[in-house]
Amino acid sequence: MAVANKVENITTFSYGQSIILTLKDPDPPHGAQDISSYTTRTVVVRSPDQSKTVTATASFVTDGTEGKISFFFADGDIDRHGKWSGQVKLEKTSVELRSSLFEMIVAEGLNT
């Protein structure tokens, strides 16, 4: 399972913004992956220096058949700029599916 998006337009110290990812089927023709049967959806991102890991719970944008999930970060989660790496983890009874890694580019913002 691949993630079709590179997450951009995030700044340090931002939170509450809805981020949408589209999960793609790894087999040709690489259309949207139907993830509607997965009951637990998690997004994990790791800071550029690998010292911080943030986990967010994801929801379906509609019903999961179009492969889209949304999530957001809490206050203080994204506290350093640079290229973060992320992965989506989906779970259902006796099955865990992990996406390929995706990039999340975080620009420097003011901590005011």
Domain 2-107 CATH class label:
mainly beta
Which segments in the chain show pLDDT lower than 50? none
Residue pLDDT, tens place only, 34-44: 999 999 999 99
C-beta pairs of 58-63 under 8 Å, 24+ apart in sequence: 58/21, 58/88, 60/35, 60/36, 61/20, 63/36
Q: In what order do the strands lie in the sheet with 59-60?
A: 2-3, 19-24, 68-71, 59-60
Task: Provide the pLDDT for residue 60.
Answer: 97
Of the candidates 94, 97, 90, 100, the one whose C-alpha atom is nearest the C-alpha of residue 38 is 90
| Residue-averaged pLDDT of the chain | 93
Write down the domain spans for the chain: 2-107
